[in-house]
Amino acid sequence: MTVTEKILARASGKDRVQPGEVGFVSVDKLMMHDVSGPGVIKVLNEWEKKGKKLDHIWDPEKVWIAEDHFVPNADKVSAENIMTLSRWSKRFGVTKHFKYGLGQYGICHTLSHEEALVLPGQVYVAGDSHTNTTGALGAFAAGLGHTDIAYVLMYGEIWLKVPETLLFKITGTKPNYVMAKDIILKIIGDIGTEGANYKTMQFSGDVVERMSMDERLTLTNMTTEAGAKNGIIEPDSVTESYLRERTTAPYSKILGDSDAKFSEIFHYEIDKLEPTVAKPFSPGNTTAARELQQVEVDRVYIGSCTGAKFEDLQAAAKILKGKKVKVRTEVLPAAQSIYLKVVNQGLANIFIEAGALVGPPTCGACCGAHMGVLGEGEICVSTTNRNFPGRMGDVKSKTYLASPLVAAASALRGKITDPRDILE
Amino acid sequence: MTSIRGKVHKFESSNIDTDVIVPGQYLKIHDPKELAKHAMEGIDPEFPKKVSAGDFMVCGNNFGCGSSREHAPIALSTVGIKAILAPSFARIFYRNAIDGGYLLPIEIEPETLSKIRDKDVLEINLSQNKIMNITNNESYKMVPFPDLVSQIVEAGGLIYYRDGKKR
Ligand code: SF4
């Protein structure tokens, strides 16, 4: 069995499971945020009105709440949603509620690893499509909608179809200025935005083994954009030392069997991979950054669960150091803990001296919510993960998805730029 | 609910995502009637006016990709859509539609897509996994639901399935 199959077998109390099997699995961790949470609470309230007894939830210890999409409150409705969430977590005794302006908070998929809220071998479901991100820790992590999350909150289990696994073996020497973002954009460009529908994307190979956790998380984050049910990387020494710095909680390191069956194996030899960009309006619409060097941009957005982890910001700072941006540039660290490091390690100075804005952790303009929403016709180079029409604002705005290195280089020239053309 | 009949609204394109079905700026809204006013706004702002209760949508591959927002099936079902037929669906949209009991995501064969036209009237027979095109007398296959899923559909949603009751 693959690692995903072994986790699901464990969670369904079986010795073996096979791809295609449909059944219930028990859940170890659950998250909802300020967009999905109020929707989930509405479902629960309706069930209560129809006579369901709802004096407690399945397990308040296993549930955590993030405030991230419309915070700091973008308007009155967002404020009400945050109040609804707070009343709910108080009523049901959920103490892991990360409130903005009250210590650590940030984008949900960033907190899940920064705070080690999910551990290897666990089944983690959450009310957000990029829940796949957390699979980089060796967990089964998948997004669900409101009704499903409400159901798990009550019963601690959910039905799933055991997915087939696609294995991506990434080998070779990673060229300078190529990041995990370039690799995953290249893969999505090749297999398409439904290339992994209903399936697992598992990553292995010497390039992945050498990757830091921040970089691995970029790979799994964007498996959602290929339609995958989950993305996963088997836990190893990188995972262990990452977790050791963050938690003392025990976990079992579940690995796939050596004779695991994959429905397909893709080999990527990346010695010649170039910085890659996804053009509007699809994450699968990829090309080399250098092909686009004539494209003028209005904005650069360095943010989100995909592209504002500490190492992403370090990469951007490496480019911006001692230089000035030519177009509006926003840098929004993905969590308060990262923001603090950005300040302590002098990165904030680099960004501000370069002329960029440094703002609080939030999903912000990644989903067109607030904090830099794009207007009609505006063109943005962004470290986020989606560029559908209207994703970051007006339906006639355009987003080019890129690595933090490409985004920062583009900020300096005001045109889409391969970082090698600035640094070499 | 073995057999349902409805008129088709056709959207040829593949990868119709949830940002098109309900744009991100409406995500903080949770009132179904308000959401319904914005159904499919990213492609056709007039759409809500064109739909009568019980209508179907026929769409390209990977319908409902993008975010996990349940706003999408809620908006479509509140506007009156009873079933969506497409060669494939994004998984979260598919689950939301079934588990919330909002509408039926029906998987059709890729070649069927071009055979169904806008405004055709279809009859979907769930017990026989068959689709009849009343307008031109053709019939098409639908991909059967797995057993558990079909029981959830039958019950009218996941919570009704749990309780062993029907909606
Ligand atoms: S940063 Fe963007 S992709 Fe990540 S959770 Fe927020 S809205 Fe979703």
Q: Which domains does chain B have, with CATH numbers?
A: 3-163 (3.20.19.10)
Residues of chain B neighbouring A147 (CB-CB closer than 8 A): 70, 96, 99-100, 157-159
| Mean pLDDT across A120-125 | 98
pLDDT reading at A390 higher than 90: no
C-alpha to C-alpha distance for A153 and A57, rounded to whole angstroms: 6
Residue A194 to residue B90, Cβ atoms within 8 A:
yes
Residue whose C-alpha is closest to residue A25's, from A4, A15, A5, A10: A10
Which residues between 83 and 122 in chain A have a beta carbon less than 8 angstroms from any beta carbon of chain B? none
Which helix or strand (DSSP H or E) is residue A244 part of? helix A237-244
Residue A108 alpha carbon, nearest atom of ligand 1: 5
Q: List pLDDT tens digits, range B66-125.
A: 877 888 999 999 999 999 999 999 999 999 999 999 999 999 999 999 999 999 999 999
Q: Min CA distance, A198 vs chain B (Å)?
A: 6
Q: What is the mean pLDDT of residues A337-362?
A: 98
Structure confidence at residue B9 (pLDDT)? 98
Given ligand 1 and candidates A33, A67, A78, A109, which is best to mutate, with the most ligand atoms within 8 Å of its CB?
A109
- Phi-psi group of A156: left, alpha or beta (phi > 0 → left; psi -120 to 50 → alpha; rest → beta): left
Band (B23; pLDDT cuts 50, 70, 90): confident
Does the CA dihedral A380-A386-A392-A396 come out positive or negative?
A: positive
pLDDT exceeds cutoff 80 at B25: no
A82: nearest CA partner in chain B: B28
C-alpha–C-alpha distance, residues A332 and A364, integer Å? 9
Mean pLDDT of the residues in chain A: 97
* Protein residue whose Cα sits closest to atom 6 of ligand 1: A363
What is the distance of C-alpha A170 from the center of its chain? Answer: 20
Residue-range domains of chain A with CATH: 3-267 (3.30.499.10), 277-423 (3.30.499.10)
Flag if A389 and B25 touch (Cβ within 8 Å).
no
A35 vs B27: CB contact, 8 Å cut-off?
yes
Q: Which of B24, B100, B147 sits opposite A368 (nearest CB)?
A: B24
The dihedral built from the CA positions of residue A375, A379, A381 and A384, taken in this order, carries a sign that is positive
pLDDT at B167: 65
Nearest to B91 by CA among A201, A356, A47: A201
Q: Do A193 and B15 touch (CB under 8 A)?
A: yes
pLDDT at B1 over 70: no
Q: How far is A206 from chain B (nearest CA, A)?
A: 31
Is any Cβ of chain B less than 8 angstroms from the Cβ of A128?
yes
Cα separations (Å) of A365 from A54, A58, A276, A370?
36, 34, 22, 5
- Rounded (5°) CA angle B49-B53-B58: 80
Per residue, the 3-state secondary structure of A368-421, as one string, reads CCCCCCECCCCEEEECCCCCCCCCCECCCCEEEECCHHHHHHHHHHCECCCCHH
For B55, the token pair is 């209508």
Q: Report the C-alpha gap between B116 and B142 in whole angstroms.
A: 13
| Per-position b or e across A46-66, b if 16+ CB within 10 A of its CB | ebeeeeeebeebbbeebbbbb
Model confidence at B166, pLDDT cuts 50, 70, 90, reads low
Farthest-apart Cα atoms in chain B, separation: 44
For residue A389, the model assigns a pLDDT of 86
Asked if A367 lies within 8 A of B27 by C-beta distance, the reply is: yes
Average pLDDT value for residue range A173-184: 97
Q: CB of A315 within 8 A of CB of A288?
A: no
Q: What is the DSSP letter of A321?
A: T
Could you give phi then psi for residue B110, rounded to 5 degrees?
-55, -35
Contact, A361 vs A68, CB < 8 A? yes
What are B30-80's pLDDT values in tens digits? 889 999 999 999 889 999 999 999 999 999 999 999 877 888 999 999 999
Side-chain half-sphere CA neighbours of A214 within 13 A: 15
Whether B14 contacts B66, CB under 8 Å: no
Instruction: Confirm if B100 and A145 have CB atoms less than 8 A apart.
Output: yes
